[in-house]
Amino acid sequence: MKISLPSDSKMHSKEFTFGVATASFQIEGAADSRLPCIWDTFCATPDKIRDGSDGKQACEHVALWKDDVELIESLGVDAYRLSISWGRVINQDGSLNQEGVSFYTNLMDNLIARGIKVYATLYHWDLPQHIEDQGGWLNRKTAYLFQDYADKITQALGDRVHSYATLNEPFCSSYLGYEIGIHAPGLATKAYGRKSAHHLLLAHGLAMQVIQKNCPNALNGIVLNFTPCYPYSDKPADIKASQIADDYFNQWYIKPIMNGKYPEIINDFDDGDKPDIEPGDMDIISQPIDFLGINFYTRAVYQACSENQFEQIDMKDAPKTDIGWEIYPAAFTDLLTSLHNTYTLPPIYITENGAAMDDKIVDDAVNDLDRLEYYQAHLNAVNDAIEQGVKIDGYFAWSLMDNFEWAEGYLKRFGIVYVDYQTQKRTIKHSGLAYRDFISQRAE
């Protein structure tokens, strides 16, 4: 089975970037050569990770990076999206860790030599633990520490990086990490979600200032995740519930960046639950970005509920991936067109999209037709959005290879490359081969 798009698709153009994505904590291993981070602590806390695993070895990418670069090259992609581990490149006293910086400069130089563009995210959730010990993202000071890290690392990496993203999915850091506690640092207080989110967004804005100064030629922006919210029925109360959920989970993160304000629902919050906004913050947060990264996996369906205003409904009979996320590609097109209609957006990159499937390796092959179908349907959905006038310049498959899937440990496989964690052998899955073939045909 192949991946294909209509012959007149703009995604066939060489101007459109195709890539694969990973994140530092999920693949690097080599925990001893960096500072401990909140995910090390979270993994060491009983019952937080489904298989009791951690990121100490992961895909041993720090040791195997040269092989991994060859693997990436063999897929024929234009770009590789990775994240920098803050605690690998910055020492506890704030100075640069040269050994850590060299790891990334060597990796990047090698990618560039093979014609692969580097898309680097500065924060994919691995906050150094010593900063968490001072309050983490609940402490406004963390935003300034992030700015300092961004300043130093972008000077060190400079033009090697084609595109810098400040943060990956601040929703996950703040809501999952500080409001409901299923991600590190595992705090679960309603007010913490909004307070940490504000400091994350402030950190994004402060970092943008120094990145634009240090690397004016790079494409600089942020990566947000969206889970579009649908009403369970046509009843006005359900429609209203889905709108409130959308403001709470999705618009909360994009509106401050694009329009310099939080959604109106902020006025309904108790004073104690509101973020601590200081004069000038919203201007810092809403400065221009060169691109918007969008991560999409699934949708969510809501009905009205008096207690919490909205309640998510499990779509029992709907097709789902192995992680339980509904497969609903039409929501991807809806999302892209509705963001385009709501905001004045810079060019969009799909910075993550992909599926966990119950892969079986047989005779050195993984016949993951289910994942391939997921990719086909979602690439079609992106193409549909482009046809409807949305400017989308790139697409990254999540993920290059199976890796540490946060609270699910190693139980869920998102790679287009299979990883045997005992031997660290990588095997390109059928979906990866189809992605490679699709990309190479486009080049002809």
Active-site residue set: 352
In the complex, residue closest to ligand FCB by CB: 23
Helix intervals (H) in 235-343: 236-246, 252-259, 281-285, 330-342
In terms of CB distance, is 254 or 284 closer to ligand FCB? 254
CB of 283 to ligand FCB, least distance (A): 28
**54 in contact with ligand FCB (CB under 6 A):** no
C-alpha 216, offset from chain centre: 23
Binding residue for ligand FCB, selected from 169, 246, 368, 393, defined by CB under 6 A = 169
Instruction: Supply the angle between the helices 98-113 and 61-74 in degrees, to the nearest 10.
Output: 10
Q: Binding residue for ligand FCB (CB under 6 A) from 123, 149, 332, 406?
A: 406
What phi and psi values does residue 54 have, to the nearest 5 degrees? -150, -175
Q: Which stretch binds ligand FCB (CB under 6 A): 143-151, 168-176, 209-217, 365-373?
A: 168-176
Choose which of 68, 126, 402, 405 interacts with ligand FCB (CB under 6 A): 405
Integer Cα distance of 402 and 418 in angstroms: 6
b/e per residue 54-76 (b: at least 16 CB within 10 A): bbebbbbbbeebeebbebbbebb
Strand pairing class (361-362; 348-352): unpaired
Among 63, 71, 112, 172, binds ligand FCB (CB under 6 A): 172
Rounded to a whole number, what is the distance in angstroms from the first to the last CA of the chain?
A: 20
With contacts defined by CB under 6 A, how many residues of the chain interact with ligand FCB? 12
Which DSSP helix (H) or strand (E) runs through 136?
A: none
352 binds ligand FCB (CB under 6 A): yes
Stretch that binds ligand FCB, among 166-174, 306-314, 365-373, 430-438 (CB under 6 A): 166-174
Q: How many angstroms from the chain centroid is the CA of residue 65? A: 21
- Estimate the share of the chain in helix, then strand, then coil, as percent rounded to the nearest 5: 45, 20, 35
Extended strands (E) in 308-437: 309-313, 348-352, 361-362, 365-366, 392-398, 417-420, 425-428
Residue placing its CB nearer to ligand FCB in the complex, 9 or 312: 312
Separation CA 305–CA 328 (nearest Å): 24
Site for ligand FCB in 267-306 (CB under 6 A): 295
Instruction: Tell me whether residue 80 or residue 232 sits nearer to ligand FCB (CB atom).
Output: 80
Q: Among 23, 145, 165, 244, which residue interacts with ligand FCB (rule: CB under 6 A)? A: 23
Q: Give the span between the Cα atoms of 112 and 211, in whole angstroms.
A: 20
String of contacts with ligand FCB for each residue 57-96, x by CB under 6 A: ----------------------------------------
Nearer to ligand FCB, 9 or 298 (CB): 298
**Footprint of ligand FCB on this chain (CB under 6 A)?**
23, 26, 168-169, 172, 225, 295, 352, 398, 405-406, 414
